[in-house]
Amino acid sequence: MSSVPVASDKITRFALASTSAPYIEKLLSGTVTTNLGVPSKAFVSDHTTSSRAGTEAIITAVEHVKACPTGCAVVAAADAPKASMWSPLEHGLGAGAAGFVVSNENLIAEVEGHSSCAYEHFGERFRPDDDDLIHDLEVRKFAQSSLIGATTEAVSTLMSEIGASPDSYRSVVIQQPDARAPAAIARKLGAGEELLASGSVVAEVGDLGAASVPVGLAAALDASKVDDRILAVSYGSGAASDAISLRVVADRKSAPSVRSEIDRKEYIDYIQYLKLKGAIR
């Protein structure tokens, strides 16, 4: 909040997204809003059951500002998904967070539109209510068909609604459970793989779950110039996808960049990592 010209007491909407929330039942946003000084009358929401939750939160903020043009929404996506160290999912997991202010003032980008796709699907990544670890039954092809199906449908709905095509974008940010998934989706969308570069963070920080697209979007915004278009596409198992189209309207100068945050790092070994995660003692 120190990098944006917004006073905490002007915030009217707060949305928090994470798949690894510390409680299944108990408001999560309240901890953050109390710390930030967001008024208690602001409407808050927690978005927690899907790696798509980050864009879900962004869309609720956009809709809030549409309905209430003087409103000011803050979105925070923070995630550190956990899997068993015996699961092939585990080595790709990471941790990260991004925050956005959505309002009609001091714009750096405007949202041109958003579309979604949701339907029933199962067997891919899931976390039962009595477990704090995510599972994957590894039915690869079946999971891949849902990933590709939901994302391409959300994007094609958006493209026809706003009259755009994937090749009109300067960067495309796609859910990054690994490096392969966004590349496969981009191919299906007919978007060149070079469009993924600026918003690709998975190689450095791993699978960020609900924060994957938000952090990627922040990285793409860092690298963009005025008039560039950015397409952000999330995916969560079960299954749903959101597609959001943005146009950059001003250079973003004040904030620390995603790249500089990623560069500020310290390497630890896998044993120490497992200890910090609480997987071994």
Partner 1 sequence: MAHVSIPMYWRTIPQRYKMIGQKCKNCGSVNFPPKGMCKYCGVSKDFESVNLSGKGTVHTFVLIGAGGAPPEFVEQEKAGGSYPVAIVALEEGPKIIGQIADVDPKQVSIGMRVATELRKVYNEEGVIRYGFKFVPDEEDR
Residues in the site for partner 1, rule: CB under 8 A?
22-23, 31, 34-35, 37, 264, 275-276, 278, 281
Phi-psi region of 212 (alpha: psi -120 to 50; beta: other; left: phi over 0): alpha
Q: CB 31 → partner 1: shortest distance, Å?
A: 6
Amino acid symbol at 173? V
Q: CB 222 → partner 1: shortest distance, Å?
A: 18
Q: CB 248 → partner 1: shortest distance, Å?
A: 27
Q: CB 184 → partner 1: shortest distance, Å?
A: 37
Q: CB 241 → partner 1: shortest distance, Å?
A: 32
Instruction: Tell me the sheet residues that pair with 97.
Output: 78
Q: Specify the length of the chain in residues.
A: 281
Q: CB 252 → partner 1: shortest distance, Å?
A: 19
Between 30 and 149, whose beta carbon lies closer to partner 1? 30
Between 23 and 119, whose beta carbon lies closer to partner 1? 23
Q: CB 61 → partner 1: shortest distance, Å?
A: 22
Helices 212-223/53-67 angle, 10° precision? 70
